[in-house]
Amino acid sequence: MREAGFTTFLVDDDPAVLRSITRLLNAAGYKTKSFSSPQEFLSSHDPAVPGCAIIDLVMSELDGLHLQQALIETGSDRPIIFLTGQGDISTSVKAMKAGAVDFLTKPVQREALFSAVKRAANVDAASRQRRNESKSIGERISTLTHREREVLEYVIAGRLNKQIAASLGTVEKTVKVHRGRMMAKLGVRTVADLVRLANKAGIAPAHSVVG
């Protein structure tokens, strides 16, 4: 059910443009979904399905750049390709700075559009993979108890069990138990793997040598 495939979300208030872009992309084998207003797109937006957005810059209700901002604020990484009839340099630069994949002018060249969509697909796949990875790691980490999590931080800081015990106000044996359970829950068997895992999850070593 996550195998939704890559979809291009077209947002344009001109039905004729929607139709023509749809035909173009469908012919190239892309699945498309059309939205005639930014709100419609935003409110039905599901970050879980892979795809990119192709957005008209100038729309009556909500400006393309604002739609981009709104999308970013939802925390979505959805790659965006802008299409525009009347844009200027300053706008295009703003869009690119905000992370747009491309900024194309109408009438759009087939090849330019395809190449942009291809790049968007790559960007989407990459960010999706990063997300999945850190999500699955996060899930495993969230199964840790508070104590286990503390021990984790000390272990990746390179502290010895006895030092950790002292910092936690307990004895070495107890630390060993937490440590063993923590490693098992995270599915790693070596400190090296643990450090890499924690790195990907963005976990910092506990109060380094100072403790």
User: In the complex, which residues of this chain contact DNA (CB under 7 A)?
Assistant: 145-148, 160-162, 168, 170-174, 176-180, 183, 191
Nearest to its own copies of 7, 95 (CB atom): 95
Nearer to DNA by C-beta: 153 or 172?
172
Question: In the range 143-202, which residues lie near its own copies by CB under 8 A?
Answer: 155-158, 189-196, 199
**Number of residues binding to its own copies, judged by CB under 8 A:** 26
Distance, in Å, from the CA atom of 120 to the CA atom of 102, rounded to the nearest integer, reads 8
Taking CB within 5 to 8 Å according to partner kind, which of its own copies, DNA, none is near residue 174? DNA
Do 39 and 113 form a contact (C-beta atoms < 8 A)?
Answer: no
Distance CA 183, CA 200 (A): 16
Q: Nearer to DNA by C-beta: 78 or 159? A: 159
- Window 52 to 91, contacts with its own copies (CB under 8 A): 84, 87-90
Closest CA to 171 of 146, 179, 209: 179
Helix (H, G, I), strand (E, B) or coil at 38: helix
101, 123 contact by CB (below 8 A): yes
Which residue carries 């800081």 as its tokens?
157
By C-alpha distance, which of 131, 104, 132 is closest to 10?
Answer: 104
Q: Which does 102 bind (CB under 5 to 8 A by kind): DNA, its own copies, none?
A: its own copies
The site for its own copies (CB under 8 A) is made up of 84, 87-90, 92-93, 96-97, 102-103, 105, 155-158, 189-196, 199, 205
